[in-house]
Amino acid sequence: MTPEVKAFFDNATNTVSFVIKDPNSASVAIVDSVLDFNFSNGHTDTTSADEVIAYVRANDLKVEWILESHVHADHLSAAPYIQQQVGGKIGIGANITIVQDVFGKVFNEGSEFQRDGSQFDKLFVDGDIIEIGTMKVDVMHTPGHTPACMTYVVGDAAFVGDTMFMPDFGTARCDFPGGSAEDLYASIQKILTLPDDTRIFVGHDYKAPGRDEFAWETSVAEQKAVNVHVGAGKAEEEFVQMRTDRDAQLAMPKLIVPAIQVNMRAGQMPEAEENGQVYLKVPINAL
């Protein structure tokens, strides 16, 4: 089965959100939504999410799932806002609990912050199957970038989050807590066992040198042949060394501090304090 895919590109964070539609019904899933956030003044905005919502409403679509590929460090999730507007269950990988435990300590969240993933409607494990209308979704655990990364395989399409990028840009960093270049290599090999004509939809694009347009759709065959980090049968040892050396030179994402605090709560803000104001913490020299 070939799902219909509508992409929404967020220029501020280079994030691609997707609406996946069952061709036989009005049922859809939304993958990796974006809540706009201005770090300089602490203001949120729903412009990006409203574009997705407007598309859903204009086409009389039924949102069944709001899926997260992982706990994003580069943008805030709009999942609860979208759920409030058009419904759907929020799902993420079961290893969200690992992320919550690590960053619950980093941000000194205290015992009131639940570390059991209960902020989400569904926690997925490898091999789970869900449905979008008449379409089956195979859920694959693909850790490496983070321990909770998931790939959603829907018919001839795979939504890989940050695990892989376009072939000319390569693969995700592995230096976040719980990340592993060895795990990422294994996860990518798992994805590449899908049929060659499987469409791969990536969660970000940064226009590799020499390319003028943003892009987010490739294929298993193309990734196997020409991905600059893992293509042409690159060995694990070579990949791990490359990834380790490369990651050591990368700066932290500019929104990592607010993004992790919000996204590990399924897109919810922390509880307001006694004065009614919501605050996000900035740990000093912790990341």
221 within 8 A of 38, measured Cβ to Cβ: no
Backbone angles phi, psi at 137, to 5 degrees: -115, 120
Backbone angles phi, psi at 201, to 5 degrees: -110, 120
pTM for the full predicted model: 0.96
What pLDDT is attached to residue 211? 93
pLDDT band at residue 1 using 50, 70 and 90 as cut-offs: confident
Nearest-angstrom CA–CA distance, 77 and 254: 15
What pLDDT is attached to residue 35? 98
82 within 8 A of 33, measured Cβ to Cβ: yes
Per-domain residue ranges of the chain: 4-255
Classify the C-alpha dihedral 265-171-151-65 as positive or negative.
positive
pLDDT in tens, 30-87: 999 999 999 999 999 999 999 999 999 999 999 999 999 999 999 999 999 999 999 9
Residue 287 has pLDDT above 90, yes or no: no
pLDDT in tens, 94-143: 999 999 999 999 999 988 899 999 999 999 999 999 999 999 999 999 99
Q: What is the mean pLDDT of residues 16-23?
A: 98
CATH class, range 4-255? alpha beta
**Residues in the chain, how many?**
287
